[in-house]
């Protein structure tokens, strides 16, 4: 029995149309995300310790510090690929929404206003070189924006809680936007489920 399964995309593959086509989203979910899960299950099948952990615990710094370097790299690649994509897909919604009270409170404290936060987030995303992700996390100093390479996640390196993440891999946008990554980054904020971000913030309070 495989411990990790591909979650259904409840919002449908057309959730981000016209920004991201139904075909591109289906490929992203059924091929890219699924491939990470398949490889993660191969890894977990060989190790009772890894098989017993939930995905967020599996990719945490605490766990990575306990395994050898080769295994840690596979966990970051395949476990991160699963965790990161699950969060990304969970944060998408067809109808444009607005940030909730908890998110606005965090933003006010550390960024001033929502416009400055989004501008900072877009700038970090556009400046990131190569494949990776851009994150909003609740860390030691409060709300922070960080980028990671490949399928790395901030929890690989520090105790924190990701509450929002944007996929910067070319497979996310290239089919629809070619090399115009900025078009995708600018547009994706129209499809963010800010209510779901509030749920991630609530989870962070219990960490």
Q: How do residues 83-116 score in pLDDT, each as one tens digit?
A: 999 999 999 999 999 999 999 999 999 999 999 9
Taken in order 70, 72, 32, 126, the sign of the CA dihedral is: negative
Alpha-carbon span 90 to 95, nearest angstrom? 14
For the chain, list residues with pLDDT below 50: none
**All domains in the chain, ordered by first residue:** 22-90 (1.10.287.990), 101-205 (3.55.40.20)
- State pTM to two decimals: 0.95
Could you tell me if 166 and 132 are in contact, meaning their C-beta atoms sit under 8 angstroms apart? no
Strands of the 142-149 sheet, one edge to the other: 142-149, 132-139, 161-167
Could you tell me if 103 and 201 are in contact, meaning their C-beta atoms sit under 8 angstroms apart? yes
């Amino acid at each position: 029995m495989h411990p990790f399964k591909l979650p259904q995309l409840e919002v449908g593959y057309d959730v981000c149309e016209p920004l991201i086509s139904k075909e591109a989203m289906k490929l992203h979910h059924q091929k890219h995300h699924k491939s990470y899960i398949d490889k993660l299950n191969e890894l977990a099948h060989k190790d009772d310790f890894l098989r017993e952990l939930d995905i967020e615990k599996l990719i945490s710094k605490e766990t990575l510090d306990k395994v050898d370097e080769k295994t840690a790299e596979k966990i970051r690649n395949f476990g991160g690929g699963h965790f990161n994509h699950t969060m990304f897909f969970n944060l998408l919604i067809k109808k444009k929404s607005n940030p909730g009270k908890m998110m606005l409170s965090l933003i006010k404290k550390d960024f001033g206003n929502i416009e400055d936060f989004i501008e900072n987030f877009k700038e970090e995303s556009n400046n990131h070189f190569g494949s990776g992700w851009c994150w909003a996390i609740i860390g030691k100093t409060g709300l922070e924006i960080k980028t990671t390479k490949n399928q790395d996640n901030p929890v690989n390196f520090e105790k924190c809680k990701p509450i929002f993440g944007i996929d910067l891999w070319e497979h996310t946008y290239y089919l629809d936007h070619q090399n115009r990554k900025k078009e995708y980054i600018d547009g994706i904020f129209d499809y963010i489920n800010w209510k779901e971000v509030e749920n991630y913030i609530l989870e962070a309070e219990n960490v």
